[in-house]
Amino acid sequence: MKRACLAVFALAAAASCLPAAAQALRDPTRPPAVLVPGGAGTRAAAPASSGPQLQSILIARQPGGRHVAVIDGETVRLGDSYRGARVARMTPNEVELVRGSERRVLKLNAPGNALPAGGIERARKD
């Protein structure tokens, strides 16, 4: 019995000396690879001139509150400049960029994640 216990303890000690093979943790806040330039899963067929990609929009609830958007990984506020264009308008689904007489509307593409006009609160009530 004593010999069996010693063998078990010796085996446990030997196993504890082996290097641990841990899996690398994935960053839960990292955007999907298709949104990261040059990331894995980037579509090769996408045209190079597809333009800026709107990734998120945050609008404060109170009137006159903060309006923030993320375009190609860069955070911009209402009235800021983005690559020579002024951020003229933000809605829950769109950002309008103005450069001279040219206007460009970037739409938030979230297939399958679209919410009703009232946002999360309205979706929860329905």
pTM score of the predicted model:
0.49
Mean pLDDT of 37-48: 52
Rounded mean pLDDT of the chain? Answer: 75
Which CATH number does 52-112 carry? 2.30.30.830
Q: Exposure of 96 by Cβ count < 10 A (0-12 exposed, 13-18 middle, 19+ buried)?
A: middle
pLDDT for res 122: 43
| Rounded average pLDDT over 15-24 | 66
- pLDDT > 70 fraction of the chain, expressed in percent and rounded: 65
- What three-state secondary structure class fits 92? coil
Residue 125 has pLDDT above 60, yes or no: no
8-17, 34-43, 96-105, 110-119 — most confident range: 96-105
**DSSP reduced 3-state for 72:** coil
70 vs 33 pLDDT, higher one: 70
Domain boundaries, the chain: 52-112
Residue type, 19: P
Whole-angstrom distance, CA of residue 111 vs CA of residue 114: 6
pLDDT digits (tens, 9 = 90+) for 50-109: 678 899 999 988 888 889 999 989 999 999 999 999 999 999 999 999 999 999 999 987
What is residue 28's predicted lDDT score, i.e. its pLDDT? 75
Alpha helices, DSSP H, located in the chain: 2-16, 120-125
